[in-house]
Structure 1
């Protein structure tokens, strides 16, 4: 025992000396002078990491509070990561439009995320290069283009009818009161499941897959060792749990993948199968630089990306919209009048949406005031660059603080006010793609703009229109004010999930 104890002691002190030597080397090694953007002074090794934690604030609030002092481009040192945060339109334009190719890649992933992304084999996570081009081209051309979206029209019609029925049933059981986000999320998830897998699922299967997707997102929440890799040995239990979740995800989704594969190989064998699905394009997908098509785990990853990318973002937008309608009954009434003028007594159809100028203004204002996330997906630079005269080292994380643009008083009149009329009688404009102008970027901008932008706006517009056509939405409890407090749960959701009273339209 003494020999074992002595050996362990030697190993411990040897490891400690190695770690201390590494830290001393890191702190004392000669470095070229870099003119980084301003930012709060940090501590050795950990940078601002513990300051953020000690503030007790959500990260977005910590950043927001620093903006008046350090300006629209600033630096945070988060352990081994250097973050450059941009919150002004002209800076984002310079980075993602003018120098788009240099700022178009993604940062390195921690081992947990790499497991779920199959080492960055997704559209959102892939490094800028041939794999990303292949995956994005396939997703856009074969699932998200305007022509492909039209092929799923019947799926959306069915999902909207189910949404209305679920709301009526819940209201009847609860004195007219319903949960908005839960029902909106279920409806859009049904649409995306059909688009993705092309096979019919019962309600229990839909809910099980939905719960699995939520579990995956929770498992991917940032951890301390993401910023300080030296601490990874302390997080072995979390890594083990992540592997368990990943295996469960594969086990749950592969049967649907194989069911669809069998239906394609034997046409007519599965009467519930759709004519086409996103999954169909993945079985024999040709990816630049690879000889073999995607494996089942890689297909699981791509399907999960498709589902997660379009579910919470859309459902969250719908909840914020209903909250705004309750707060401002005049907006709700005006939208209902437009629906009646376009559709009369028939169900509103997505073909009608293009004609509805007020609905389109409502959706634009919704995305300006309530973008799905505070920060767009992290960019990284492929080579040393300059931005606004500052040095941006290779590999730096570049974060875009979206509200800094959508609520900039230099770009918008009275930006704190929710006012769809700003796009009609107010004469203000907004291109959500950022092509003609960069005043709001709810879906990002440039080379890495969200490929699901078109699908998301169709889903949000259609859901809002049907929900207002079928019901009048009122506050619950009666005469209470809506709490517009926010919190982050993958997307920016209402701090207190919205319950509303619905009155069926006569």
Structure 2
């Protein structure tokens, strides 16, 4: 699961962990920025236990800000939440269940885009985001809320989640400062209103899902697993091998927060990757033609299956190259003991905390710079999928960090890397293969080029919405 909360804290971390790992508000932590791949491997992989807690996001208390997989401290509650997510949605045995949902989402996107272009007499410059976002969000909503969720509820959720994700980026200071909230109370009220509407939308959908579930209909979805899940009453430190005490169901606030996290993260990360890739394919028509040839010669024109996707080496290389240049996450952040950081060779230890306890700092990793490190890559700014093919400089490098070295980390690294990376790769593959198979993507003819400038916020997205000339093949 990609982080959708901790990025808000870049430049102004607001929490510290006591010895019990409980978050308490304190003055901002010191940021320590590290982008060296060798050092990052020592920290995030070799010493993962010490570098696996994230800062608490500055969400309103009513939104249960600390109760999501991405922001809960590293411990027994985190293990319960992440383990449930993997078992219920992202386990390989679940991929076959998701296949019909993926096919329907792709068919809907292609049909909608085709009808629009036909109405424009064959070829037109289009803004890609809206139709693509709607298709991906619909797929993710069915995975999360069940295949019987009403279309009008999906569209309403898409609108509100979009407002939250893309509006709060500009107002992230609201969550970090009481003074800012007082000075800009109208903006804070508008933001809080989105949170309240999300709660009022999500809870009735969950209730309706549980009612239909009693009839034994539909696939088992993420919400089903959350309702059944029991988490520890008292979280314990990750180093503790046994968990004592009773367990409890998730509260309504926690359910809403986890549903929001799932909808937002799994949508924006896929949409972002597909758009970045289409942008490069429009700029590099020779790469697009090579990819199109692989897709149409690999099997049935109409059927794109999981097995077929796994056999498309150039498609996978193209996606990996896009992720290397434009990872979904702008940064990853960890709350770490300054002395642990120093012991791993990552800087001098800071002075002890005033109370004689641990001095915590915020480790910040700029993910994009890792994938463009000149010591690790030849011509790192060039879009060249061939580097990931057999015999290329990145042969064997994948989206998940390996045991030997870090060359790129688009989905994080260590204990808290993205649990849904394989499903995300499949989603990107499904949509991208169909879009390249059925349409030619080219630069606009109105004299405008495609702007590859990045905008950093929750995710690394395109500053200027992708506009491309689309022609049916």
TM-score bracket, normalised by the shorter chain, equals 0.7 to 0.9
Aligned mates of 1:226, 1:97 — CA distance in 2: 31
Aligned mates of 2:444, 2:155 — CA distance in 1: 27
**Residue 348 of structure 2: which of 377, 390, 403 is its match?**
390
Structure 1 residues 382, 151: CA separation in 2 closer, same or farther (over 3 Å shift)?
A: farther
Structure 2 gap segments, 5+ residues each? 1-7, 12-25, 234-245, 351-357
Q: Which has the larger radius of gyration?
A: 1
Aligned mates of 2:393, 2:80 — CA distance in 1: 40
Which residue number corresponds to residue 93 of structure 2?
147
Aligned mates of 1:96, 1:294 — CA distance in 2: 29
Please give the per-residue CA displacement for 1:118-143, whole angstroms capped at 9, x wherever unaligned. Answer: 14111101011111111000001111
Which residue number corresponds to residue 331 of structure 1?
287
Q: How does 1:30-109 map to 2 (within 5 A)?
A: 80-109=28-57
**Residue 296 of structure 1: which of 243, 252, 255 is its match?**
252
Structure 1 residues 483, 287: CA separation in 2 closer, same or farther (over 3 Å shift)?
A: same
TM-score, normalized by length of structure 1? 0.78
Aligned mates of 1:297, 1:326 — CA distance in 2: 43
Which residue number corresponds to residue 73 of structure 2?
127
**Residue 142 of structure 2: which of 178, 185, 194 is its match?**
194
TM-score, normalized by length of structure 2? 0.83
* Corresponding position: 1:427 with 2:393: yes
Which residue number corresponds to residue 23 of structure 1?
none
Structure 1 residues 220, 391: CA separation in 2 closer, same or farther (over 3 Å shift)?
A: farther
Structure 1 residues 248, 409: CA separation in 2 closer, same or farther (over 3 Å shift)?
A: same
Structure 1 gap segments, 5+ residues each? 1-57, 63-77, 268-272
Which residue number corresponds to residue 499 of structure 1?
467
Aligned mates of 2:28, 2:49 — CA distance in 1: 24
Over the residues paired in the alignment, what is the CA RMSD in angstroms? Answer: 2.5
Structure 1 residues 223, 426: CA separation in 2 closer, same or farther (over 3 Å shift)?
A: closer
Aligned mates of 1:322, 1:123 — CA distance in 2: 31
Aligned mates of 2:257, 2:167 — CA distance in 1: 14
CA drift at 1:427: 3.4
* Corresponding position: 1:352 with 2:308: yes
**Residue 115 of structure 1: which of 57, 62, 68 is its match?**
62
Which residue number corresponds to residue 157 of structure 1?
103
CA drift at 1:232: 5.6
Name the SS for the 2:248 alignment partner.
coil
CA drift at 1:467: 0.6
Aligned mates of 2:247, 2:193 — CA distance in 1: 29
Structure 1 residues 389, 338: CA separation in 2 closer, same or farther (over 3 Å shift)?
A: same
Aligned mates of 2:387, 2:44 — CA distance in 1: 27
CA drift at 1:114: 4.0
Structure 1 residues 502, 426: CA separation in 2 closer, same or farther (over 3 Å shift)?
A: same
Please give the per-residue CA displacement for 1:257-291, whole angstroms capped at 9, x wherever unaligned. Answer: 11110011233xxxxx5221111101121112363
Structure 1 residues 59, 413: CA separation in 2 closer, same or farther (over 3 Å shift)?
A: farther
